[in-house]
């Protein structure tokens, strides 16, 4: 079943196109990796699919009953102010606000928030202030918030930036589990490992065009071979 599709889309900002003629579709249960050089439009693509940026041409369609409030999102750069007074728990709980009803967060929602933080190794920081965390700890809290928001689909824009190697491999493991449990993943990454090991579909952007296809097709194509070589996997 298709969840998201778009055909002949032009991505860009304020009439300035970045990429045109883009057609793609994301199926239920897919694991899509979005790769490509800096400035090629990966983040713009994600923001367009999320409805944060209007496509210059074409329309992104949500199908199969996918609703906005079933989507989790980890931005590449968040606009959060460094001095914003907020506890870690307040941040993570705000993730489930999209499906929340009523005034108080339920015991179940609080338990889930705590679980996400424990999974990401932040159990001793649950009642800390968000301002006082390190860069990698910020990233983990925002990941926990994204997981809280996720019901069907999770968008991750370079989730491992700032994470240490151990947390990175734990995150990939966690994503594998989530995908196994039926969550659809769309992840922007410069790391070849998840693309090579876990992804089902690859969307590759470059300044001259794009490639969209299964992982097998991709790694047999020119851009895929190029990526392998650059990542030192060309043996």
Partner 1 sequence: MITEIFSYPFLVRAMLIGLFVSVSASLLGVSLVLRRFSMIGDGLSHVGFGALGVSALLSLQPMVVTIPVVVASAFILLHFSEKKKSGDSSIALLSSSALAIGVIAVSVAGINTDLNAFLFGSILSVSRSDGYIAAAVSAVTLFSYLFFYHQIYATTFDSTFAKATGINTGRYTALLSLLTALVIVVGMRILGSLLISSLIIFPASIAMKTQKTYLSVSILAAAEAVIAFILGFFASYLFSLPTGASIVAVHMLFYVASIIIREARIALVGE
Ligand X SMILES: Nc1ncnc2c1ncn2[C@@H]1O[C@H](COP(=O)(O)OP(=O)(O)OP(=O)(O)O)[C@@H](O)[C@H]1O
The entry of Mg ion, partner 1, ligand X, none that residue 81 binds, CB within 5 to 8 Å by partner kind: partner 1
DSSP category for residue 61: E
In the sheet with 201-206, reading across from the earlier edge strand, the strands are 71-74, 153-157, 184-188, 31-36, 201-206, 209-214
Residues 223, 192: contact at Cβ < 8 Å? no
Q: Out of 25, 27, 86, 161, which residue is the one contacting partner 1 (CB under 8 A)?
A: 86
Residue 140 found at the interface with partner 1 (CB under 8 A): no
Tokens 């929340």 belong to residue = 100
Token pair listed for 3? 């969840």
What are the residues binding ligand X (CB under 6 A)? Answer: 13, 18, 36, 38-44, 76
Shortest separation between residue 42's beta carbon and Mg ion, angstroms: 5
Query: Whose Cβ is closer to Mg ion: residue 24's or residue 205's?
Result: 205
Distance between CA atoms of residues 49 and 56, nearest Å:
12
The entry of ligand X, Mg ion, partner 1, none that residue 196 binds, CB within 5 to 8 Å by partner kind: none
Dump the DSSP string for 155-167. EEESTTTT--HHH
Residues 195, 189: contact at Cβ < 8 Å? yes
Query: Whose Cβ is closer to partner 1: residue 53's or residue 231's?
Result: 53
Shortest separation between residue 159's beta carbon and ligand X, angstroms: 12
The entry of partner 1, ligand X, Mg ion, none that residue 18 binds, CB within 5 to 8 Å by partner kind: ligand X
The entry of partner 1, Mg ion, ligand X, none that residue 194 binds, CB within 5 to 8 Å by partner kind: none
Q: Out of 15, 65, 85, 182, which residue is the one contacting partner 1 (CB under 8 A)?
A: 85
């Amino acid at each position: 079943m298709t969840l998201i599709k778009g055909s002949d889309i032009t991505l860009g900002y304020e009439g300035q196109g970045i990429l045109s003629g883009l057609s793609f579709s994301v199926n239920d249960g897919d694991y899509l990796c979005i790769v490509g050089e800096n400035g090629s439009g990966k983040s713009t693509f994600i923001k367009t699919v999320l409805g944060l940026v209007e496509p210059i041409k074409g329309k992104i369609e949500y199908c199969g009953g996918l609703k906005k409030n079933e989507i989790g999102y980890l931005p590449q750069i968040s606009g959060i102010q460094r001095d914003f007074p907020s506890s870690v728990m307040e941040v993570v709980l705000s993730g489930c606000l999209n499906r929340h009803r009523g005034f108080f967060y339920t015991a179940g929602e609080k338990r889930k928030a705590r679980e996400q933080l424990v999974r990401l190794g932040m159990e001793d920081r649950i009642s800390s202030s968000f301002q006082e965390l390190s860069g990698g700890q910020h990233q983990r809290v925002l990941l926990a918030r994204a997981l809280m928001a996720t019901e069907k689909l999770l968008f991750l824009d370079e989730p491992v930036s700032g994470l240490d190697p151990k947390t990175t491999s734990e995150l990939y493991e966690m994503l594998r589990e989530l995908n196994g449990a039926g969550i659809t993943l769309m992840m922007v990454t410069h790391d070849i490992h998840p693309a090579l090991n876990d992804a089902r579909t690859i969307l590759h952007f470059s300044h001259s065009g794009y490639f969209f296809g299964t992982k097998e097709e991709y790694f047999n194509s020119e851009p895929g071979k190029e990526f392998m070589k650059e990542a030192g996997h060309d043996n």
